[in-house]
Amino acid sequence: MNATLATLLQRRGLALFLLSYAALILYGSLHPFGPWLPAGEWSPGFLVAALPRFITRTDLTTNLLAYTPLGYALALLLARSHSRRHGLLLASLLCLGYSFVLENLQTLLPSRNASNLDIALNGLGGWLGALAARQHRRWLAWLELFLRWRERWFLPGAASNAGLILLLLWPLAQFSLMPFPAMGWVELYLRPIEAGLALAKPNWPWLLAVFLEMAVLGSFAASLLQPGRYAGALALLFLSAFALKVLVALLLLRFGVLGGVLSLETVGGFIAAYWFLLLPPAARQRRVTAAALLGTVVLLRLTLAKYLLLPTSNPFNIVGLADLTASLWPYLALATLLALAWRRDQA
């Protein structure tokens, strides 16, 4: 009976997630919901139109990733009543059909552009999500390993859990292609790939921005670690962070302009931040160091940034969502440090 009740609750939770996520996609697809054209002006001509002349990697990535969670959740929900193969096919078709309906509705919104390419990418994203759902048990097993690793390496408690969630949100912020403490006061650093590691006139603002981001990230992560965990954990964090920055840049930019991401300024910012965090004062006073660096970020935004809190970019685009995440991250990190300090005082 208990197992049956648990299964029912899981299915209801999954259904609630599906409804909420589908509503979010609907909002992002049909925003600003007007002014609408008369229904008689609807035309399916976009379905057979030529591909858009200009296709950005940002749009491709956004459309592909947006429907992946939907396909994953649909496949899990359908797995109980269908075979794995039929569930995969049905979940993919439902994602494709949902995108088809929303793109047709976009033809009645002059502010939106319906695209057959978007339908194809959304359907592909749903299929990839449904395909990933076939390994759901394996993901759960890895989650259990992660939770055991979390107990060994990180402090217990809700505040520490909130900090780990922020660390997991940091990769999303990388889709802004900017070091997040510097959002708004440095330009995206683009250089030819062959000039990436060449000795040229240094881009000091970019180096400072990368240093700040990695020093903030490293000191904040160190504030969550158990005693005795430091240098090795930071080295693993920095190597993973650099690989992630390169991967995101490959997804969103042409290979020929990756010289900025692979520049000496970027590498130098990473090395300088790691060296700084290994200094005894920074290593001993991790939370004080993290709070001071986060305060520096906030002061820089007050004096140099184009906005203090919320960016003007569209949050329903992967880059806009990354901008929003990057903008809120320092403030949420400061709140987490305050919670950790309060918990320590209580203890």
Domain segments of the chain as ranges: 2-134, 153-346
Q: What is the pTM of this model?
A: 0.80
Give phi and psi for 275, each to the nearest 5.
-60, -45
Mean pLDDT across the chain, nearest whole number?
87
pLDDT band for position 266 (50/70/90)? very high
Task: Report which of 265, 274, 268 is spatially closest to residue 187, judged by C-alpha positions.
Answer: 265
Pair of tokens at residue 174? 């990388």
pLDDT band for position 118 (50/70/90)? very high
Output the pLDDT for position 8.
59
Output the pLDDT for position 7.
62
Buried b (16+ CB within 10 A) or exposed e, 189-228: bebeeeebeeeeeebebbbbbbbbbbbbbbbbbbbbbeee
Output the pLDDT for position 4.
57
Please say whether the beta carbons of 318 and 58 come within 8 A: yes
Q: Does the pLDDT of residue 336 top 60, yes or no?
A: yes
**Tens-digit pLDDT profile for residues 5-34:** 456 557 788 889 999 999 999 998 998 887
What angle (nearest 5°) sits at the alpha carbon of residue 53, between those of residues 50 and 54? Answer: 140
Q: Does the pLDDT of residue 197 top 70, yes or no?
A: no
For the chain, the residue count is 347
Task: Report which of 262, 273, 259, 294 is spatially closest to residue 208, judged by C-alpha positions.
Answer: 273
**Tens-digit pLDDT profile for residues 218-257:** 999 999 998 888 888 999 999 999 999 999 988 888 877 7
Q: What is the DSSP letter of 262?
A: T
pLDDT band for position 54 (50/70/90)? low
